[in-house]
């Protein structure tokens, strides 16, 4: 008798998480939100705590051929802070767990922690614990971040309503284009170690890949302006994939407009140089760590003049589907490609 074997790739990353979630039963009334958002939400009396965790593996999430150790440390913190930001919360503490092979010296660990400590300073968080262990393979960093918010400030993926305005911060696609450039320069270097990589010209896009910054500035501005988005998440897998998450969680559709999508000039020019469609980078490029959120129309005047918030479309009824209106006016269905880990 042969045992049934299902490939993880049949479910995909999100299918696998849904599958695991089916067996999970919440027992404590303080667990306000479990699996399924950017962070879990826990009742703490007069406020809530939000908790998120992310795992970064050498060779999967970063390549030490081009990622400097301090940047890896900084990014490991930033990606967690980004998930706290996505809940409209303020990060307060992190724990850092690290697995090291004997390839790494104390100086190398110090270099990683210089980035971790710089990020703690930048985001105002305290490093309060972690775990250290040996690794047979490369470097593994897992960080858990804890944040705080008032209960009524927390933004879930599930709150988008028909006619809300869809917004994104910053610009998109840069991190993917940066990764392609870094990979190309690595291949050039491997073919000829005397060649010095020419990264100056690509400083913005390679920076987007190597040292992303979580948009805590926007969260503080929401506080100042008295805006609470109706839904929010961070863009880690690509805009198209995140629109699917918001749509699914909120039970809505969405229409976005190609001419409203923010792309940096260097991202655009480099994508063209590399022979990739810039719009594909914007829709499916991961790791930008910008915020995707929806707002009630009444809040539009408060954000209208913000230089770094872009109004890319609006929320529609679920049955209207998810569409991108191209510059020529054609509506094309959005496909969620995102990053396939399996």
267 annotated to a ligand binding site: no
Residue 241 contact, options Mg ion, ligand ADP, none, Cβ 5-8 Å cut-off depending on partner type: none
Contact (CB, 8 A) for 160 and 250: yes
Complex with ligand ADP: residue 236 or 294, whichever CB lies closer: 236
DSSP summary character for residue 328: T
Complex with Mg ion: residue 80 or 180, whichever CB lies closer: 80
Closest CA to 244 of 5, 6, 13, 10: 13
Closest CA to 227 of 330, 309, 108: 309
Q: How far is the CB of 119 from ligand ADP (least distance, A)?
A: 17
Q: How far apart are CA 281 and CA 288, in angstroms?
A: 10
Residue 17 contact, options Mg ion, ligand ADP, none, Cβ 5-8 Å cut-off depending on partner type: ligand ADP
234 annotated to a ligand binding site: yes
Helix 106-123 to helix 69-85 angle, to the nearest 10 degrees? 30
Q: How far is the CB of 79 from ligand ADP (least distance, A)?
A: 8
Residue 35 contact, options Mg ion, ligand ADP, none, Cβ 5-8 Å cut-off depending on partner type: ligand ADP
54 annotated to a ligand binding site: yes
Q: What is the CA radius of gyration of the chain?
A: 20
Q: How far is the CB of 12 from ligand ADP (least distance, A)?
A: 11
2 annotated to a ligand binding site: no
Complex with ligand ADP: residue 21 or 297, whichever CB lies closer: 21
Q: Applying CB under 6 A, which residues contact ligand ADP?
A: 17, 20, 35-38, 54, 83, 236
Complex with Mg ion: residue 142 or 236, whichever CB lies closer: 236
Beta strands in the chain (DSSP E): 31-33, 40-43, 48-57, 90-100, 126-134, 140-149, 165-169, 231-234, 252-257, 291-295, 309-317, 322-325, 331-333
Q: How far apart are CA 111 and CA 128, in angstroms?
A: 19
Binding residues for ATP: 113, 130-131, 157, 236
Indicate the annotated binding residues: 38, 52-54, 61, 83, 113, 130-131, 157, 234, 236-237, 287, 339
């Amino acid at each position: 008798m042969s045992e049934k074997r299902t490939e993880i790739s049949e479910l995909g990353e999100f299918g696998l998480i849904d599958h695991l979630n089916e067996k999970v039963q919440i027992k404590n009334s303080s667990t306000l939100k479990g699996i399924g958002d950017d962070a879990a939400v826990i009742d703490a009396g007069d406020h809530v705590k939000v908790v998120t965790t992310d795992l970064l593996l050498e060779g999967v999430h970063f390549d030490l051929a081009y990622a400097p150790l301090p940047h890896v440390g900084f990014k490991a913190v930033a990606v967690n802070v980004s998930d706290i930001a996505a809940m409209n919360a303020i990060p307060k503490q992190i724990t850092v767990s690290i697995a090291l092979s004997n390839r790494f010296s104390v100086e190398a660990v110090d270099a990683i922690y210089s980035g971790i400590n710089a990020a703690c300073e930048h985001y105002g968080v305290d490093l309060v614990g972690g775990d250290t262990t040996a690794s047979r393979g490369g470097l593994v960093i897992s960080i858990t971040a804890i944040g705080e918010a008032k209960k009524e400030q927390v933004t879930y993926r599930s709150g988008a309503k028909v006619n809300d305005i869809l917004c994104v911060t910053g610009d998109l696609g840069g991190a993917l284009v940066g990764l392609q450039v870094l990979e190309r320069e690595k291949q050039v270097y491997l073919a000829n170690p005397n060649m010095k990589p020419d990264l100056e010209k690509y400083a913005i896009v390679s920076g987007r890949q190597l040292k992303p910054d979580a948009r805590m500035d926007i969260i503080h501005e929401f506080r100042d302006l008295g805006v609470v988005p109706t839904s929010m998440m961070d863009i880690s897998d690509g805009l198209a994939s995140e629109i699917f998450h918001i749509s699914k969680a909120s039970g809505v559709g969405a229409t976005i407009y190609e001419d409203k999508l923010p792309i940096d000039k260097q991202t655009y020019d480099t994508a063209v140089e590399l022979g990739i469609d810039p719009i594909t980078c914007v829709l499916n490029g991961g790791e930008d760590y910008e915020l995707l959120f929806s707002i009630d129309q009444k809040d539009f005047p408060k954000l209208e003049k913000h230089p770094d918030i872009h109004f890319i479309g609006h929320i529609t009824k679920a049955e209207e589907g998810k569409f991108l209106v191209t510059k020529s006016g054609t509506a094309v269905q959005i496909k969620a490609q995102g990053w396939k880990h399996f």
